[in-house]
Structure 1
């Protein structure tokens, strides 16, 4: 028998099996459990249309393509989703993979279905757009569609889940890429939206495809450990059930299965061996009322001794995704630790289904089920408020940063609760209250004590932000802030600050270049300037200034293009000397000082135009200042120069006790600041060398520092490097 014949037989057998499991009839049978017949007929009509449009298309596994949308619809039907969602799930690929338009879907099945299908569809390939950019733009489109209808993400998650279940047909490289993307984006989104059932399976399947050997080893050991603990689990279930019954509390007590990926994450985060992680057995208590949750907690603590510091009340302080439960850890017989979660039946439905709970049959429209949706919409609104104007790839990175599974709960001085990601700092807290409070933050009191701004906060602490009128965000904050809102505000401020500084510097450079050419600055308001802006693709003169200030364009070349054609070849000015730019020390981010020579006021200087950095200032005797003279700009120090400037000193002295203390005291007495000090190996004999990075005002101030250091007993040499 030929190989293609064998392949066709295998494909036919697979197709029959999938049809039995995911065909329309099994789906209709499932839907009959909770949907009326007229709605089931609408779902069947969508299937017939989808099968017709996908006719002739196959998946990589060889099965007819229509079985994939049916499988997605079945996942959603198991979650008891409404008919509109199921119809959209069956049709979710028709716009993207067939010739069907959104309008045709709307005409046949309604605007809601069309909007859901369009929201899930990826954007078309655009020339010049990389795969990463296209993926990021499709993701932004998906989240934007979610702001209109949250069911979009439920379809996308079900689609991703079925793709992971059938990922073995893909190449290893594609499996790894999809698995990594799932763990980075889709599983955290499911966590954020409270959809526990999908999140757990997404994580375990993605982990299995990304690290197959690690997954196999862990799964085998977890199964063996849980098997060994079966008697203990049964004993705990029986004992807790009896004591709860004796107290008149109706409760369901069940041992929880271990999520392989969560075991792996816990082992990595806490650097634990598997046996240490598996020592923590999980149990869930489901009761009728909120009061019963707290009564049941008392019973659990009476039966088993609680572990101090391992109690969380997520009923009073629910998580960002609407999750509510009491969590406690106790010690069972034999020294085994058990984790117990206590919640009502309604809380359990929300914890398992998250935003999907609102659409589930029989659960109605109670506030508890609507709350996860409101939280999800608020999260989406914040995302677009913070990252809406960012480039697609930056938007996607911002969302990744924002998807934190752990939270801390801290208090404002007035007693209001603020929920923030684990590891968040007082700066994150300040920006969560108000962006202006974050911009002006200079210090913080945590529980009444002054603490550094990079201090991670802990739940229960009271945070008071101290502000100053003229304070501004610091670029160093980006290294330790945790929230997307804080990071975005800081970046926006620094970007705007850099743009403002670039505009001011660019204006000064162009004015100097025009003065050299004897051209009045008013030329920028004439038609020649408009023609120049158009040829350069710039909107206005401010944008032209900015490109000059950041070094993208040279001011003399721009100035020459503003000359009348008859004067374009003339000399810059009659004396042949170009005007110089005066450095004031307030140019900020668009003017940098070379680390090779550390220029300070009083040094002779010149500037190198560097694209993206603006002007880099060097001393004229620096070896970097001797090449490519066409790239250099003549500079002088302004008479009103301000600020502190860094310079480096080398000090050689006899090695004696207390030398460093004596040197630093003299530097402080001279009103200079030490930014860094290095002490290399001894220079030979009993001598020692020290290298100081100092902040001084100018050469006169530096000379005063050096004179004081030379007067110290045992100092052999003090020199600037």
Structure 2
């Protein structure tokens, strides 16, 4: 009862009219359902739902949301059911708890296809009731605060997922404080050395200069009080991850960063915001290029504030944010401001945007986009975006992420305009299409009939919308050739495991991978968006597993093996018949065969007992030996198909290919081929190198794994 009363007291502090008996009943029910369950720390499990509910009281949220927090794990982890929750606490709470349960079961850190599909489900759940994600974010925050009790590999997985998904989601929903804490907690797991070095630097700085935060805070208060402006002023050191990210972005050391310290001025009125700005700039020298007015041009999540950086005490640069109390509430709570209570009443904050607007934009994209990787790219870019506002010649405002170019601007107006873009003027001056746009600029796009998106635009565009449209147009333009190439690659990949690339097999693979048609599947394989190996793994995972383990003896035994030994070519150097080889005995994996010049052999210099002298058997061999080549080729139509033809003309099979680098003028890719011996490989290299559009072709040694 004592725990329930503490929680009720926290709620009554902002909502005296809360239903205390209902909250107490939820507390008792949740505690009863989790009875006997323990967390990794050894604490009773119910301490977690209670902590999540407590976090949400800091956002001054309504009774249903607090009750959902207390019950959010009951349907998943206890004998409780949806109907049981609905009978006791109503359908609204049951739906919220069910929504949080479904989000908990999503694997957001899985492969791109599955991650994108699960991300769709997350957004659709949010679109029904935003409070679902508010509870989930609080749940993740408490789990990250107590993550040290988990085993290390699970810590890393959770931290990556938090950094990639939940932290930017919190930021995009306007809950900046939560984003910063989630990022820093993840940073503590993923790069503890870097975080500790920053913390040590902070300690050194305090020893050298003292704690300057209260000194600067008082300086600002004195300036405002002298002018008769009522305001709250508080300062803080930036979070270690925020410092690290700025060091990485600006390529500067700790001592050269300008905004290690941040200060906020919370005024009574908007007029006082600008008056305070004037006082600050008269008292301290403003740093050029570091002023942002998000009051007159708010961010899309409702964020409003003046940002400026000045040279404060002893020349130290400090960042100052100035906003009203209502603006500050939105800056702290984001979309949660819609559900907030103050003095027992739901607050009407004029600066809080409709939380469903961003979700509506995204869910519309979900409905219109059948490409998982493009959807994921769009969402992540949208979440991470720091906004830039530019104007059309007619004065319409176009909102873009920071770093956007005229290409992004054109596609933001309409896909047709983006695809037909041939040039742009910014503030009346003609600029290259790769120009990065800045706030307040006027952009005029020039179009031409017959213009088509160029492959170089992929390196220029930054928005998911533009990239998706460009990729779709390029795919359609080269689709026929990609389908033909993909069919051949699929045939070879399946024949390697003794199967045929029938229409039925390809249709089955497409259905399992969530791809609309067989033709779309083949186009993906032909354009190297997916590999033949991935195709086989979908249809025949067990065959691939045997192939990868490599425990079956080759038809012709390598000379030098004992009767009970089997040989496996090492992936690090891919030895071929005709090359001098040596074997390394391994535990449980037979003998790994290396070329005599393989760098990996250095690891075994002090273990001579493991070395075995080996020789290839005599006689002509079939083309079943794996080799990887790296090709750098010009980015022109038809070059990829010609290279594949050249390989085929040398009677070598292509088993896989992938692009490793795409530049406007050249592409680099790796091609896995099957050859007879080293002489056969040299013939392939010579034929490919002779092509006028090939800049370089090399035999590629793969990175080895620990044996």
TM-score, with structure 2 as normaliser? 0.67
Farther off after superposition, 181-190 or 34-43: 34-43
Closer, same or farther in 2 for the Cα pair 1:333/1:130, shift >3 Å? closer
Partner of 1:265 in structure 2? 245
Equivalent residue runs for 1:188-227 within 5 Å: 188-226=168-206
Partner of 1:594 in structure 2? 642
Report how far residue 44 of structure 1 moved.
Answer: 1.6
Report how far residue 292 of structure 1 moved.
Answer: 1.0
Does residue 400 (structure 1) correspond to residue 376 (structure 2)? The answer is: no
Report how far residue 223 of structure 1 moved.
Answer: 4.3
Report how far residue 536 of structure 1 moved.
Answer: 7.3
Match of 1:54 among 31, 34, 40: 34
Match of 1:121 among 93, 101, 120: 101
Equivalent residue runs for 1:245-284 within 5 Å: 245-277=225-257, 280-284=260-264
Any idea what the Cα deviations from partners look like across 1:689-710, whole Å, max 9, x if unmatched?
A: xxxxxxxxxxxxxxxxxxxxxx
Match of 2:152 among 146, 149, 172: 172
Match of 1:377 among 351, 356, 369: 356
Contact 1:188/1:405 (CA < 8 Å) preserved in 2? Answer: no
Any idea what the Cα deviations from partners look like across 1:224-257, whole Å, max 9, x if unmatched?
A: 5356555654443333323323323212222233
Q: Structure 1 unaligned runs (5+)?
A: 1-18, 508-531, 553-587, 600-604, 614-626, 629-645, 651-674, 679-721
Any idea what the Cα deviations from partners look like across 1:195-245, whole Å, max 9, x if unmatched?
A: 122122212211112222322232233245356555654443333323323
Report how far residue 364 of structure 1 moved.
Answer: 4.2
Equivalent residue runs for 1:507-656 within 5 Å: 537=507, 593-595=641-643
Partner of 2:277 in structure 1? 297
Closer, same or farther in 2 for the Cα pair 1:209/1:544, shift >3 Å? closer
Any idea what the Cα deviations from partners look like across 1:430-465, whole Å, max 9, x if unmatched?
A: 111122211222221222232222222222322111
Closer, same or farther in 2 for the Cα pair 1:495/1:111, shift >3 Å? farther
Q: Distance in 2 between matches of 1:93 and 1:136?
A: 24
Contact 1:410/1:419 (CA < 8 Å) preserved in 2? Answer: yes
Closer, same or farther in 2 for the Cα pair 1:443/1:606, shift >3 Å? farther
SS, match of residue 450 in structure 1: strand
Report how far residue 176 of structure 1 moved.
Answer: 1.5
Structure with the greater relative contact order (CA < 8 A, sep ≥ 6): 1 or 2? 2
Closer, same or farther in 2 for the Cα pair 1:413/1:67, shift >3 Å? same
Q: Distance in 2 between matches of 1:118 and 1:301?
A: 52
Q: Structure 2 unaligned runs (5+)?
A: 488-501, 527-635, 658-674, 677-687, 697-707
Partner of 2:451 in structure 1? 471
Q: Distance in 2 between matches of 1:227 and 1:418?
A: 48
Match of 2:305 among 306, 313, 325: 325
Contact 2:106/2:118 (CA < 8 Å) preserved in 1? Answer: no
Report how far residue 145 of structure 1 moved.
Answer: 1.1
Does residue 96 (structure 1) correspond to residue 76 (structure 2)? The answer is: yes
Closer, same or farther in 2 for the Cα pair 1:259/1:505, shift >3 Å? closer
Partner of 1:73 in structure 2? 53
Report how far residue 290 of structure 1 moved.
Answer: 0.8
Closer, same or farther in 2 for the Cα pair 1:462/1:135, shift >3 Å? closer
Contact 1:551/1:610 (CA < 8 Å) preserved in 2? Answer: no
Report how far residue 393 of structure 1 moved.
Answer: 6.1
Q: Distance in 1 between matches of 2:73 and 2:170?
A: 21
SS, match of residue 442 in structure 1: strand
Report how far residue 67 of structure 1 moved.
Answer: 1.4
Q: Distance in 1 between matches of 2:374 and 2:137?
A: 22
Partner of 1:442 in structure 2? 422
SS, match of residue 472 in structure 1: coil
SS, match of residue 370 in structure 1: coil
Contact 2:51/2:142 (CA < 8 Å) preserved in 1? Answer: yes
Contact 1:146/1:153 (CA < 8 Å) preserved in 2? Answer: yes
Closer, same or farther in 2 for the Cα pair 1:101/1:137, shift >3 Å? farther
Q: Distance in 2 between matches of 1:238 and 1:123?
A: 45
Partner of 1:352 in structure 2? 332
Partner of 1:703 in structure 2? none
Match of 1:368 among 350, 373, 377: 350
SS, match of residue 346 in structure 1: helix
Q: Distance in 1 between matches of 2:158 and 2:424?
A: 43
Closer, same or farther in 2 for the Cα pair 1:468/1:152, shift >3 Å? same
Closer, same or farther in 2 for the Cα pair 1:505/1:70, shift >3 Å? closer
Closer, same or farther in 2 for the Cα pair 1:281/1:71, shift >3 Å? closer
Contact 2:330/2:352 (CA < 8 Å) preserved in 1? Answer: no
Contact 1:313/1:327 (CA < 8 Å) preserved in 2? Answer: yes
Match of 1:43 among 23, 35, 47: 23
Contact 1:326/1:342 (CA < 8 Å) preserved in 2? Answer: yes
Closer, same or farther in 2 for the Cα pair 1:214/1:97, shift >3 Å? same
Farther off after superposition, 193-202 or 243-252: 243-252
Contact 2:213/2:236 (CA < 8 Å) preserved in 1? Answer: no
Any idea what the Cα deviations from partners look like across 1:401-456, whole Å, max 9, x if unmatched?
A: 32224232222112222221121111111111122211222221222232222222
Compute the RMSD of aligned alpha carbons: 4.1
Contact 1:598/1:647 (CA < 8 Å) preserved in 2? Answer: no
Q: Distance in 2 between matches of 1:264 and 1:308?
A: 23
Q: Distance in 1 between matches of 2:518 and 2:141?
A: 50
Closer, same or farther in 2 for the Cα pair 1:352/1:96, shift >3 Å? same
Contact 1:88/1:117 (CA < 8 Å) preserved in 2? Answer: yes
SS, match of residue 595 in structure 1: helix
Any idea what the Cα deviations from partners look like across 1:149-184, whole Å, max 9, x if unmatched?
A: 111111111001100111111011111221122111
Partner of 1:431 in structure 2? 411
Q: Distance in 2 between matches of 1:146 and 1:544?
A: 33
Any idea what the Cα deviations from partners look like across 1:55-103, whole Å, max 9, x if unmatched?
A: 2322111222111111101100122111110111111112222343334
SS, match of residue 449 in structure 2: coil
Partner of 1:705 in structure 2? none
Q: Distance in 2 between matches of 1:359 and 1:549?
A: 47
Closer, same or farther in 2 for the Cα pair 1:395/1:103, shift >3 Å? farther
Report how far residue 598 of structure 1 moved.
Answer: 8.5
Number of paired residues? 538
Contact 2:123/2:363 (CA < 8 Å) preserved in 1? Answer: no
SS, match of residue 341 in structure 2: coil
Closer, same or farther in 2 for the Cα pair 1:206/1:543, shift >3 Å? closer
Closer, same or farther in 2 for the Cα pair 1:134/1:188, shift >3 Å? same
